[in-house]
Amino acid sequence: MTVATIGDWQVSVDEEGFMTDPAEWDEGLAQVLASQIGLTLDEQHWKAIQFARDDFAANGETPTLRRMATAGGIPTKEMFALFPKKPAKKMSYVAGLPKPQGCV
């Protein structure tokens, strides 16, 4: 693991830049992470991020797109609108979670 400086934060990341310790995350850091990938967070983004973080805390793994839709109530089409092109990957990055299983 590597320690990276992102804005004013020092966080542990893996070789792809995903945070490895979700406890180091906060909403201010999420804003910086989002801006790095061209996103401006709104209420719907926060809903997805909060569900993903709560689900990770309960289950120990980052939710997939399917889980976001079925358990989180956020349709896949909406996830693509919120986090274009690679929604699960981008959502987990901004939420400070490990990359979801199955993402390339």
Tokens linked to 70: 């079925």
Tokens linked to 59: 């289950």
Tokens linked to 53: 């973080």
Tokens linked to 34: 């989002």
Active site residue 60: no
Dist CA 58 CA 78 (whole Å): 23
The angle formed by the CA atoms of residues 63, 47 and 92, to the nearest 5 degrees, is: 35
Question: Catalytic pick from 37, 41, 69, 103?
Answer: 103
Residue 46 CA: distances (Å) to CA of 5, 71, 89: 23, 16, 15
Residues with a known catalytic role: 103
